[in-house]
A and B are shown apart, each in its own frame.
Chain A
Amino acid sequence: MTKIKLSLTAFFTGWFFAVLQFSFLMLLQINISSAYLTYMVITLSWMIGTVAGLWIPRLSMPLGVGLGTVSYYIVYTLVSYNPFSPITLPVASAGVAIAGLWAGHFFVTMLDKSMTTDSIFFHENNGFIVGLVTFFAGFTQIGRPFLLYVPLILAVGLFLSSRAEKPS
């Protein structure tokens, strides 16, 4: 049962990461620019955050997911209301990196829960594929409401699942 729970957590975390990453990208592309620089900023910042997340000594799932979600909505607000301020892109880059922290520390946390690396990456990657498809289908159907609500819904789902895990 625990194995299934852990697999599902990894799967939903991958889903959350994909939706969050693509939402960041789309936010910047809609509000600032679709130039390649935008894509580079998101990808590199996410990777920097991931590597930093691997090495930070402590980060719980609620805190990691919460930090990522709060960063996302700060960037959302900033690019929606002040897209061309000189601080927007640096702040967005920092926000993406903060969101990436959990993308790194998540793997360490799951390994500590006796999941093997192949299993974590397998389930997380499957979630990422579903997230990729969900994002594309969802964004083309409803547009900005997807960017506004879906990352939050997935984050709340992950947060609740982590609370449900605790008693066992």
Chain B
Amino acid sequence: MNRFSAQLIKECVLLFLVGACLSVAQFIMIRDFVAILYGEEVVIVLVTAAFFTGLSIGYLLSRKLSKSLFKYLFLASIFIHLTFPFSYRYLASYISDNGDSGVMYMTLMFAYALLFSSMFACFLPQLVHGEDDGASSRQRLKIFYSVELAGFVMGFAIIGWSWNQVLSPLLMVYWTLLTAVLYLAVKDKVFTGIFAILAIWASLGLNARDMKSTELLYQYKHGKENIELLYSINSPYQKVEVLQRPDGGKYLYLDGLQNLNSSDLEVLNHYIAKIPAKLTRPERALIIGNGTLSSVSKVYPYTKKLTSVELDPGVLKAGQKYFTPPETLEGLDRWNLTIDDGKHFLKTSKEKFDLVIMDIPSPLTVQEAILHTAEFYSLVRSRMDEDGVIAVQLSGPLQQNNRTPARVTAALSMAFKQVMVLDSEEGDRSFAYASDNLPFTKADVRRVSSDFEDEDSLTIITPEEIPYYLTKAEALQIDTLDLVLRRGWERFMGRYFDDD
């Protein structure tokens, strides 16, 4: 093997590792910043665009920087990587404590996007147009880009291994890869040694610091004083976190957005699960979502067969650990759990259901919004007989406007002939029951809910009254998901750029 081919192999190994680092860096940055800025679709797109902007800057500078300047910038950047994810969480907490400036958050995000991705983007152009080793730029591009993409796939595999775990094992692997990249790129044993020692030192107590810095974010950015972080993992879909108040109450957060508060759980489960189950006594019932499994015990006594379908195993893990211990579900032999996407389950299942409970988050991302569309409700309708009932929480009180509760109700009205809405002051939101032939009346609902919430605070809107509320509402459909953009944008701007 001649000197040139040995050099080529070294460069290939370097690019392979750079590809893997890029993949892991993309995952860590997007997950963490989406959770810091709260995971609406607008934020997901913004953070992803920031990461790719970092790449663009890397490409732009890759061949403009002198070798020595690149070396020092690279060294500075790679050593700062040892402060991830604590440094940006501390900085976000600091920004929050000093007025929650949107400009400062954006600056923070773009600065870290530069650190996360720019330096990795420099290698490929530099090596393709590197020293002449006999291979043409064309040949080097083919080899190097192929190798970098292969590394990216390996990064994917590493991320897959880290799912449903805390962040620290992934960070340790990332720092190990960075150590190898540092050695191959700079060929300096002293710097590599110092980096390796610091990485080992930083790995000690990593999990505790990960939890503490996340806890700090919740204390400052979410304004939850004296909160304790019990659980924080990255599922294949989102960051799943459980927090506990001093009084023992718990919160479940998904990508930085509050999914549920244990003190609200009773009300939510009462209206979305217990009431419709008690009134319909379904032969077969289906719960879509409800990763905490907290509504299972509410429906189970009233049905002959109960199926739960949840997409995210990470939420199920958090649910079983902190909200519904597995022993409470022991002996429920008429209940089964399937890990699947709700619409895939319905499209592939041949079963019919008498009651379908939609216990899913508000439509703040496209994927969540699809499960609130008229098309999805029509799919549910196709798996029901005429008097089958679907129960949906409307993410707010139903009013005569074009906001989420009215648009979801309008979508239900497109798929079902009758919709009844319960507006609960206790629950601070409305709940809808829809069917082609509702097997219960307003009086029935009032009767079974009277011991839970009195008549003054629970308003029941009958199917006949529903059209009045929908005069300004456009039904949520796959072709009209503008709500995701509009609501996400309003929330984002209100949170970070509204002076009031």
Contact = CB atoms under 8 A, between A and B. Distances in A.
Interface of A: 26, 29-30, 32-36, 40, 43-44, 47, 50-51, 54-55, 83-84, 104, 107-108, 111-112, 116-119, 121-122, 125-126, 128-129, 132-133, 136-137, 139-145
Nearest to A50: B149
- In the A-B complex, list the 10 residue pairs whose CB atoms are closest, starting with the nearest: A143-B479, A118-B125, A33-B344, A122-B59, A117-B125, A36-B236, A140-B485, A117-B128, A33-B341, A121-B59
A124 B447 CA distance: 63
A140 B366 contact: yes
A18 to B, nearest CB: 9
A132 B45 contact: yes
Contacts, number: 119
30 contacts: A30-B370, A30-B478, A32-B344, A33-B344, A34-B341, A34-B343, A34-B344, A35-B340, A51-B146, A83-B347, A84-B347, A107-B141, A108-B138, A108-B142, A111-B137, A111-B141, A117-B128, A118-B125, A119-B59, A121-B55, A121-B59, A122-B59, A125-B56, A128-B52, A129-B53, A133-B49, A140-B484, A143-B477, A143-B480, A143-B481
B479 A145 contact: yes
Tell me whether chain B's interface is mostly helix, strand or loop, or mixed: helix
A141 B142 contact: no
A140 B153 CA distance: 30
A35 B480 contact: no
Contacts of B146: 51, 54-55
Tell me whether chain A's interface is mostly helix, strand or loop, or mixed: helix
B49 A132 contact: yes
Given A30-B478, A137-B485, A143-B478, A122 B56 contact: yes
B496 interface: no
A29 B41 CA distance: 15
Interface of B: 41, 45, 48-49, 52-53, 55-56, 59-60, 62-63, 121, 124-125, 128-129, 137-138, 141-142, 145-146, 149-150, 152-153, 156, 236-237, 311, 340-341, 343-344, 347-348, 366-367, 370, 477-485
A34 to B, nearest CB: 5
A103 B364 CA distance: 32
B148 to A, nearest CB: 10
Given A34-B370, A118-B60, 9 more contacts: A33-B344, A34-B311, A34-B341, A107-B141, A112-B138, A118-B59, A133-B45, A139-B366, A140-B482
Contacts of B341: 33-35
A108 B150 CA distance: 18
B142 A139 contact: no
B485 A118 contact: no
A33 B343 contact: yes
Contacts of A141: 482, 485
Given A118-B59, A136-B485, A35 B153 contact: no
B137 A117 contact: yes
Contact of A129 (B52, B141, B483): B52
Contact of A142 (B129, B138, B479): B479
B128 A140 contact: no
B333 to A, nearest CB: 27
A143 to B, nearest CB: 3
Contacts of A112: 138
Contact of A43 (B53, B156, B340, B344): B156
A38 B430 CA distance: 33
Contacts of A137: 485
B485 A125 contact: no
Contacts of A107: 141, 145
B55 A125 contact: yes
